[in-house]
């Protein structure tokens, strides 16, 4: 009789919850199957009246154990199954996976995920941890025009920085043409891609230049160049001052991009233009303070930073007479 009772219960359950076909199972997925199976396995409340033998066993065991619920549901109970809820959960899961596929395909600069790039507040562009980092820079001085200044670049202590050092001389070349001399500079190389194709840096999401340096108290000029192929603009750049305080301690310098002024061939122009941050080609440091003698500048890293407190867009004024293009 017990076997017949189990068989009848199984037929009743199958009629109440038909298993989906193969085609619908592909659409509904595993969430619906798990939900249906969990609903069919609902435990049944134990009968209120226990047999005398059960009471005796409970009395002998001190009521430490209860009778386990049966796995077979009662014929009078209907399994709680919601097809609508199962389908909603499955559709949410598919859309969640679809979103992940799209987001992971979006790449930002240097191959980093785009959502990480948009959230970053600071970024190291140049650092010095080995010879390959020094190869991204070139040094130059007034020796190119016959001067006597010398400049060198090497790795610092424990290969954790770059050391720019040398000797500045303001003695003019004896060529009868140059009347002034005395400068040394360090300039980053323009990044190159396949087939020597020029690349540029995009700093539009940042508003401040961020450096960690240690100097000897001399003032330096920080120069930023835009990416351009126009020959007439090869000597144009944007500049601002960097004052080192000397001593054995490092200093962190933050220069807003809005402070950089427009210059051409080392002279500040009357008409000023705002620095375009989407096509930066190189950055450089120039020493030309007209003081003869040795110098050094140690650099840990050069980066960009977003300062939420800085809201200035451009620090310099223009008039229609100086820059009529801006007032049309």
pLDDT digits (tens, 9 = 90+) for 79-123: 667 878 888 888 988 888 877 766 666 665 556 665 565 566 889
Claim to verify: residue 86 and residue 154 sit in the same structural domain: no
Residue 297 has pLDDT above 90, yes or no: yes
Claim to verify: residue 99 and residue 208 sit in the same structural domain: no
Q: How high is the mean pLDDT of the chain?
A: 77
Claim to verify: residue 239 and residue 306 sit in the same structural domain: yes
Claim to verify: residue 303 and residue 194 sit in the same structural domain: yes
Domain's final residue, options 52, 81, 105: 105
* pLDDT for residue 322: 66
Claim to verify: residue 234 and residue 306 sit in the same structural domain: yes
Claim to verify: residue 214 and residue 80 sit in the same structural domain: no
Name the domain count of the chain: 2
pLDDT of 160-175, one tens digit each? Answer: 999 999 999 999 888 7
Which of 156, 142, 137 is CA-nearest to residue 213? 156
- 256, β-bridge pairs: 208
In a domain, 305, yes or no: yes
In whole angstroms, give the CA distance from residue 278 to residue 296: 32
In whole angstroms, give the CA distance from residue 316 to residue 295: 32
* pLDDT for residue 68: 43
In a domain, 113, yes or no: no
Compute φ and ψ for 196, nearest 5 degrees: 60, 30
Task: Grade residue 63 by pLDDT with cuts at 50, 70 and 90.
Answer: very low
In a domain, 114, yes or no: no
pTM of the model: 0.63
pLDDT of 113-159, one tens digit each? Answer: 655 655 668 899 999 999 999 999 999 999 998 899 999 999 998 89
* pLDDT for residue 326: 62
In a domain, 252, yes or no: yes
For 72, the 3-state DSSP assignment is coil
Domain's final residue, options 40, 72, 105: 105
* Domain span holding position 81: 2-105
* pLDDT for residue 177: 76
* pLDDT for residue 131: 92
In whole angstroms, give the CA distance from residue 312 to residue 256: 9
User: What angle is formed at CA 249 by the lines to CA 182 and CA 254, rounded to 5 degrees?
Assistant: 70
Task: Grade residue 9 by pLDDT with cuts at 50, 70 and 90.
Answer: low
Claim to verify: residue 65 and residue 151 sit in the same structural domain: no
Q: Residues 6 or more apart from 228 whose CB is under 8 A from it? A: 234, 236, 279, 281
In a domain, 112, yes or no: no
Claim to verify: residue 226 and residue 123 sit in the same structural domain: yes
* pLDDT for residue 269: 87
Claim to verify: residue 133 and residue 101 sit in the same structural domain: no
Annotate 70-104 with b (16+ C-beta within 10 A) or e (fewer): eeebeeeeeeeeeeeebbebbeeeeeeeeeeeeee
Residue 214 has pLDDT above 90, yes or no: yes
Residue 216 maps to which CATH number?
2.60.120.430
Task: Grade residue 37 by pLDDT with cuts at 50, 70 and 90.
Answer: very low
In a domain, 236, yes or no: yes
Residue with more model confidence, 283 or 118: 283
Residue 236 has pLDDT above 50, yes or no: yes
Residue 5 has pLDDT above 60, yes or no: no
Highest mean pLDDT among 1-5, 68-72, 117-121, 297-301: 297-301
Among 106-120, 265-279, 310-324, the range scoring the smallest mean pLDDT is 106-120
Residue with more model confidence, 44 or 308: 308
* pLDDT for residue 111: 62
In a domain, 140, yes or no: yes
Decide the pairing of beta strands 162-168 and 293-305: antiparallel
Domain's final residue, options 61, 76, 105: 105
In a domain, 111, yes or no: no
Claim to verify: residue 88 and residue 168 sit in the same structural domain: no
Among 50-64, 84-98, 168-182, 212-226, the range scoring the smallest mean pLDDT is 50-64
Claim to verify: residue 201 and residue 149 sit in the same structural domain: yes
Among 54-68, 237-251, 264-278, 288-302, the range scoring the smallest mean pLDDT is 54-68
Taking a C-beta distance cutoff of 8 angstroms, is the pair 44, 72 a contact? Answer: yes
Rounded (to 5) percent helix, strand, coil in the chain:
30, 30, 40
Claim to verify: residue 12 and residue 153 sit in the same structural domain: no
Which of 4, 118, 11 is CA-nearest to residue 75? 11
């Amino acid at each position: 009789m017990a076997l017949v009772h189990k068989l009848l219960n199984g037929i009743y359950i199958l009629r109440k919850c038909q298993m989906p076909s193969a085609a619908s199972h592909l659409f509904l997925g595993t969430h619906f199957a798990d939900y249906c199976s969990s609903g069919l396995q609902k435990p049944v409340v134990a009968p209120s009246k226990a047999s005398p033998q059960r009471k005796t066993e409970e009395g002998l065991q001190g009521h430490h154990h209860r009778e386990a619920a049966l796995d077979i549901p009662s014929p009078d109970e209907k399994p709680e199954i919601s097809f609508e809820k199962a389908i909603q959960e499955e559709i949410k899961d598919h859309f969640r996976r679809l979103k992940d596929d799209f987001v992971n395909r979006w790449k930002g600069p240097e191959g980093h995920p785009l959502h990480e790039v948009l959230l970053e507040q600071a970024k190291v562009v140049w650092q010095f941890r080995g010879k390959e980092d020094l190869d991204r820079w070139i040094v130059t001085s007034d020796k190119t025009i016959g001067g006597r200044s010398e400049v060198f670049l090497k790795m610092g202590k424990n290969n954790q920085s770059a050391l720019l050092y040398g000797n500045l001389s303001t003695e003019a070349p004896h060529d009868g043409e140059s009347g002034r001399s005395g400068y040394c500079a360090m300039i980053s190389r323009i990044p190159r891609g396949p087939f020597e194709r020029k690349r540029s840096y995009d700093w539009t999401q940042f508003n401040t230049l961020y450096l960690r340096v240690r100097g000897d108290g001399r003032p330096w000029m920080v120069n930023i160049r835009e990416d351009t192929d126009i020959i007439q603009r090869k000597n144009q750049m944007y500049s601002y001052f960097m004052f080192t305080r000397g001593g054995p301690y490092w200093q962190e310098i933050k220069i807003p991009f809005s402070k950089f002024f427009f210059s051409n061939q080392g002279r500040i122009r009357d008409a000023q233009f705002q620095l375009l941050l989407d096509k930066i080609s190189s950055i450089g440091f120039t020493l030309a303070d007209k003081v003869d003698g040795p110098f050094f500048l140690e650099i840990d890293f050069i980066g960009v930073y977003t300062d939420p407190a800085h809201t200035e867009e451009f620090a310099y004024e223009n008039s229609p007479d100086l820059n009529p293009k801006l007032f049309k």
